[in-house]
A and B are shown apart, each in its own frame.
Chain A
């Protein structure tokens, strides 16, 4: 064997064999991102589109377009009433749950209480319990309480709001705790050393730092309550149905564009609400 061949390296030159161009290397993750947005938005866009289809049985392409379903949605009072009930419940649950949760989160992070971590586990527990389980348990509990106290509890607005407060507290504790943990204690100590009273320190240093957490908590609490179906299923009463439950009841016996019309109105209202909120506080920075 000639020497030059014997000495030739047996391994292939260590070329960086396949160097894909940057756009190809990023392609898989780009595709996943596109798929994620498609999965999230496709059903919403479809619902909005079908709300103007003329045919009672939704099919593509439609034989024509109409706004009649919006009229029908307005005439079926259960949707308008459901919308008002959902708004009421979500607003009340947010107004009760966020202050309670914020106070608790502050005490857990800053209070140095014994058992703070156990307390935090308890307050976050509603997130770990499937809502359908919590809902059935509450339903049984309300019926039992009715029997003991001899007054209406189940299917009242108060009991529904109380159940929804259970949704708002863990989200508030979670989000406010996160914002407090990001605040350096040194800032509070500096203020105190400069002579600020504890209440002033709280009002001028701690509270502003919690602000974004509290706003995020309000937003998420409202969302959680407003769109909740599973917890409310057994807790709503005749004439006091939330919008998601009203929609499910309707959809279980007929699928026509009325529901799409209701959904579109809801979607537009929600979009306006979010864009207005975003003008005052940047949503991207709060979450």
Chain B
């Protein structure tokens, strides 16, 4: 049995854990304009990332945009996942494919689609101007809202598929029992469906939050030149700035914050959904 786990385990250890250790080591090095990198053991890169208001604001933007996008995705994803999970007609297969389909299109293409929709000559502004409702184009693109929209479009299918798998495993009779006993539909949702779906909410939110913290294409293409998030900032350090130690420190900060928040988040949700189970038994 151990022989079955080992290949995958070794591969992940070699390609994920070892590179992470190396990245951490590099983040403690010194940057040198002449020889690129000098061996050292210094926290200077971390101190600079936390101390410099520019990088602090990038980190803050990344965090707020990621949290906002995750919540918005949850709000849009839950009703859709419920609808999909409870669907019985032969269209269910088709609806599932429609949800999965954008995943294969890639986030660069979808960002291009948003550009054509929201840009100054885009579909929305042209229609509004054509109807005479506005005189000049609305600033729909190159702002935080456009980035959030772009991110939500990318991550929504993951949320819907994760949630609907969990909702499908909730027996319909439980809901019927609650509403037969007189609970209004909102109460059935709040007291029955939501608590039972919490593992799915936790799994989906964690998955989506990690993807949000990782945003690259939406930030670069829809945020405009002044909008910055962590992933492009890290990439810039490696490709344009050639400051590897500082880039490594930024990457490690992003990783640590993502891990801490996802662990705290799932622990908080985990406490909540364990309680009803104990009452049942």
Contact = CB atoms under 8 A, between A and B. Distances in A.
Interface in B107-123: 107-117, 119, 121-123
B15 A138 contact: yes
Given A32-B75, A260-B116, A111 B5 contact: yes
A227 B8 contact: no
Contact of A36 (B15, B77, B221): B77
B42 interface: no
A263 B26 contact: no
Nearest to A61: B126
A91 interface: no
Contact of A266 (B98, B109, B150, B217): B109
Contact of B108 (A46, A103, A244): A244
A111 B1 CA distance: 6
A127 B100 contact: no
A41 B96 CA distance: 13
B216 A233 contact: yes
Given A39-B156, A140-B22, A173 B8 contact: yes
Nearest to A50: B116
Given A128-B259, A287-B96, A248 B108 contact: yes
A35 B152 CA distance: 11
A132 B235 contact: yes
B12 A166 contact: yes
Given A36-B160, A267-B105, A141 B19 contact: yes
B247 to A, nearest CB: 7
B23 to A, nearest CB: 4
Contacts of B99: 40
Contacts of A190: none
Contact of B112 (A33, A47, A108, A223): A47
B194 interface: no
Interface in B181-216: 185, 206-207, 210, 213-214, 216
A163 B206 CA distance: 22
Contacts of B217: 229, 244, 248
Contacts of A205: none
A129 interface: yes
B110 A36 contact: no
Contacts of B255: 129-130, 133
Contact of A113 (B5, B76, B127, B216): B5
A141 B110 contact: no
A144 B21 CA distance: 12
Nearest to B103: A223
Given A100-B11, A144-B22, A248-B217, 8 more contacts: A33-B83, A40-B99, A132-B251, A133-B23, A227-B107, A255-B115, A263-B106, A283-B96
21 contacts: A36-B80, A40-B102, A41-B98, A42-B153, A43-B113, A46-B113, A60-B122, A113-B5, A136-B251, A137-B16, A137-B22, A162-B15, A169-B8, A229-B108, A234-B235, A244-B108, A251-B111, A266-B105, A266-B109, A267-B105, A270-B105
